[in-house]
Amino acid sequence: MRTAIITGASSGLGLECARALLRSDPSMHVVLAVRDTGRGAEAVKQLGEPQRCTVMRMDLASLTSVRAFAEDVRAATLPPLHAIVCNAGVQVVSGTEWTEDGVEMTFGVNHLGHFALVQRLLGELAHPARIVVVSSGTHDPSKHTGMPHPRYTSADDLAHPRAEQSADDGRRRYTTSKLCNMLFTYELDRRLDHGVTVNAFDPGLMPGSGLARDYPPLQRLVWRYVLPALRVLPGVRSTHTSGRYLAALTNDARFDGVGGEYFDGLRPIRSSADSYDRDKALDLWSTSERLLTHATK
């Protein structure tokens, strides 16, 4: 038996990834890392494999919670840990919100919480192992996604931004956090030995997913009911389809030894020019380490 941890696994892409992993590999045990254990328990019922699922609480907006989760994993009687799927994400568009640690919420959940999780569990991974980070095509200005282009000045600016300047600031923080996912993926892959591979994944546009929860009512209505009809278009996918792709990157033998790549579905592609900027990657890494150190004092 082997274990895969999936963040944000109670619904959407994370739930579908768990479903695909359980169906494709009878030796796989899935840890659903969720904020709400009640919703996690409901997800286990939907998956129909209670003996191969464990629900554990973790709030990525709290570095204390991430630390406690890692301790719980170490203390639990689980099969060897072979995969971490950094899937959970938020998009805050109605003002600025802050994590428990005083970090801007989008950066804190989408990047910093996952950075902390991976750092605390690296020593628990049984080789060969895989880490998959869910990013987004919105990180790349050349994709013309309709979202504001990312703006990476420094990681400290992202963690502690000034007051909002425009209505687009929240959406830009989201696209910039997805650029951070790319920078983290590549830098982590450079730093790890050959026993652990790290890749990033673009699930495509997934109408009906929870990312629009903070949108105004009319936009939420369009996201939930109108956009699903566009799944015939390139780059628009159901959570079920993207979940299968994400599970394959997590476990399929086709990707043994493949690391440092960015996948659109199951196809490796080039990411944005900024995502290969080592100076930005090192700034993000050092700032993230400092934020983690301060949180433990």
pLDDT for residue 241 is more than 50? yes
The Cα–Cα gap between 72 and 140 comes to 36
Whether the CB-CB separation of 95 and 16 falls below 8 Å is answered with no
Mean pLDDT of 152-176: 89
Mean pLDDT of 138-154: 93
Residue 174 annotated among the catalytic residues of the structure: yes
Neighbours of 108 (CB within 10 A): 27
Per-residue pLDDT at 222: 41
Q: Token pair of 76, please?
A: 């639990």
Contact 17, 9 (CB under 8 A): yes
The whole-number average pLDDT for the span 101-120 is 97
Q: What is the CA 93 to chain-centroid distance, rounded?
A: 19
Closest CA to 84 of 136, 24, 6, 23: 6
pLDDT over threshold 60, residue 188: yes
Q: What is the pTM of this model?
A: 0.90
pLDDT in tens, 42-70: 999 999 999 999 999 999 999 999 999 99
Most confident of the ranges 43-52, 86-95, 191-200, 210-219: 43-52
- Looking up tokens 């956090």 gives 177
Catalytic residue among 174, 186, 215, 262: 174
CATH code for residues 2-295: 3.40.50.720
